[in-house]
């Protein structure tokens, strides 16, 4: 079972009594924000959970342990104040060195990281301590989320500079800056998608972030949360279609249409302003795809090249050429029902064989089914199809090498990158007139 962990630094200055107003609305009057946080968020925690207070030798002496003030009166330290709350959660100090060099910062980071366990739910107080400590804590939560699969539940800051008078009393608001950590996570997830086409992490973040909003947010927040969740689902379908080379799904582009719909909705609501540039990036990658557009395979190959999906790109380019030719000649190129399977398999096999033979004239064409000879004749008589035959044959060699693991005269990895790019550009040039025609028809 995962622990709940509250992390905080203890400074060396004099902690003045403040009336802290928590994000949930309650007000606590205390000189230590950590006491207010313990009462607000740790009241139901168990003895398995932890409050870790990072102290230097000086801050321990001045503010953790009890001490005498200038009048000789005992001043309670944070340790005793937390003990008096009689919470089940265990609190303990963790000694760290004074920050006097860059190497000491990394030593502190390692100490903090070693206090965390796999799967911890982390709450952070960044109000006090050395100036680099808030940045250190933010780095820690990102680092541990990757290596120990921790999650950040709250990042709290006692904003004394934003204090306001309320019924004659100065009230210091406590801000929850968790959205900043969430934005960092979204940035990392967005980079994974932008660079590698993998949207799994986006879906996980959407589920984690959207569910609380769906349960307890305002009407606008619930709608925004639902749109983010729906976007992540559509984007995951889309990225999986590319990753598994689902040619017909890419031709239909239903998940792409859904994705672009939800990016527009999220941008329109603008409840999370930093999301808008991310929405623009997604749309720019998918804008050329049209519903039921036979040339979607070209845009799919470009997408695959952008995301390092070389094997999928080679497959989609070769099979896309077959689909394009059959579609131009008026033959069935995809099986939408079980009854159409045999006919489509024969059509695709005849087209593949025709293209290979046109580039290798020493081979003899063997027709399969009643349409075989006619398909071969039509391809042979078409200038564009003849150009595509050379590209198709080159793709066959690449596809055999990559699909069979490169055990026979293997190419170098970079050869696939260069060859796929070159063959894609040739195909694009070969079909540019068809592309213009497609644009005019709105597909």
Q: What is the dihedral of CA 80, 81, 82, 87, to 10 degrees?
A: 100
- Tell me the per-residue pLDDT of 293-333, one tens digit each, with 9 for 90 and over: 999 999 999 999 999 999 999 999 999 999 999 999 999 99
CB 202 within 8 A of CB 189: yes
- Does residue 43 lie in a domain region? yes
> Residues of 229-262 as b/e, b for ≥16 C-beta within 10 angstroms?
bbbbbbbbbbbbbbbebbbebbbbbbbbebbbeb
Examine the domain organization and report whether 229 and 203 are in the same domain.
yes
Distance from C-alpha of 194 to C-alpha of 307, rounded to nearest angstrom? 7
Task: Kindly state the helix (H) or strand (E) to which residue 322 belongs, with its residue range.
Answer: helix 310-329
The total of structural domains in the chain comes to 3
Residue 86: name the closest of 146, 39, 50, 133 by CA: 39
Given this model, what pLDDT does residue 254 score? 97
Examine the domain organization and report whether 183 and 171 are in the same domain.
no
Examine the domain organization and report whether 351 and 250 are in the same domain.
no
Examine the domain organization and report whether 102 and 78 are in the same domain.
yes
Examine the domain organization and report whether 170 and 187 are in the same domain.
no
Examine the domain organization and report whether 221 and 333 are in the same domain.
no
- Does residue 302 lie in a domain region? no
pTM: predicted TM-score of the whole model, two decimal places = 0.78
Angle between helices 219-243 and 275-286 in degrees, nearest 10: 30
Examine the domain organization and report whether 66 and 91 are in the same domain.
yes
Given this model, what pLDDT does residue 178 score? 83
Query: How many residues can be counted in the chain?
Result: 443
Examine the domain organization and report whether 236 and 384 are in the same domain.
no
Give phi and psi for 230, each to the nearest 5: -65, -35
Examine the domain organization and report whether 207 and 166 are in the same domain.
no
- Tell me the per-residue pLDDT of 153-181, one tens digit each, with 9 for 90 and over: 899 999 888 888 877 788 999 999 887 77
| Domain at 86, CATH number | 3.40.50.10640
Residue 228: name the closest of 252, 212, 244 by CA: 212
Residue 278's domain comprises 177-292
- Does residue 298 lie in a domain region? no
Examine the domain organization and report whether 166 and 225 are in the same domain.
no
Distance from C-alpha of 27 to C-alpha of 312, rounded to nearest angstrom? 58
Residue with tokens 């050395």: 130
């Amino acid at each position: 079972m995962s622990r709940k962990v509250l992390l905080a630094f203890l400074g060396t200055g004099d902690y003045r009594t403040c009336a802290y107003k928590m994000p949930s609305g309650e007000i606590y009057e205390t000189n230590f924000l950590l006491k207010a946080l313990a009462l607000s968020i740790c009241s139901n925690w168990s003895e398995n959970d932890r409050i870790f207070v990072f102290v230097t030798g000086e801050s321990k002496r001045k503010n953790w342990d009890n001490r005498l003030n200038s009048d000789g009166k005992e001043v309670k330290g944070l340790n005793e104040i937390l003990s008096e709350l009689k919470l089940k959660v265990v609190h303990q100090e963790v000694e760290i060195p004074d920050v006097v060099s860059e190497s000491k910062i990394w030593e502190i980071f390692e100490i903090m990281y070693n206090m965390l366990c796999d799967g911890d739910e982390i709450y952070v107080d960044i109000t006090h301590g050395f100036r680099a400590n808030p940045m250190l804590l933010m780095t820690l939560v990102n680092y541990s989320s990757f290596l120990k699969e921790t999650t950040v539940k709250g990042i709290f800051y006692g904003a004394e500079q934003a204090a306001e008078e309320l019924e004659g009393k100065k009230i210091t608001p406590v801000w929850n800056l968790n959205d900043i950590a969430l934005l960092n996570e979204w940035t990392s997830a967005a980079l994974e998608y932008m660079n590698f086409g993998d949207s799994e992490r986006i879906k996980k973040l959407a589920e984690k972030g959207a569910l609380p909003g769906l349960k307890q947010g305002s009407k606008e927040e619930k709608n925004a949360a639902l749109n983010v969740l729906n976007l992540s689902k559509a984007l995951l379908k889309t990225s999986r279609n590319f990753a598994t080379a689902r040619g017909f799904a890419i031709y239909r582009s239903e998940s792409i249409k859904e994705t672009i719909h939800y990016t527009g909705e999220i941008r329109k609501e603008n409840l999370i302003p930093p999301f808008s540039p991310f929405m623009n990036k997604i749309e720019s990658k998918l804008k050329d795809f049209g519903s039921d557009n036979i040339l979607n395979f070209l845009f799919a190959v470009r997408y695959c090249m952008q995301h390092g999906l070389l094997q999928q790109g080679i497959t989609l380019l070769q099979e896309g050429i077959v689909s394009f030719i059959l579609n131009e000649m008026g033959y069935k190129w995809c099986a939408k029902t079980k009854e159409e399977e045999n006919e489509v398999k024969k059509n695709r096999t005849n087209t593949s064989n025709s293209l290979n033979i046109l580039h290798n004239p020493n081979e003899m064409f063997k027709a399969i089914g009643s349409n075989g000879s006619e398909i071969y004749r039509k391809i042979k008589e078409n200038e564009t199809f003849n150009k595509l035959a050379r590209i198709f044959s080159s793709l066959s060699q690449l596809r055999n090498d990559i699909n069979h693991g490169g055990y026979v005269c293997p190419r170098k990895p970079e050869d696939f990158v260069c060859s796929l790019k070159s063959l894609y550009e040739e195909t694009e040039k070969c079909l540019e007139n068809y592309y213009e025609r497609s644009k005019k028809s709105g597909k």
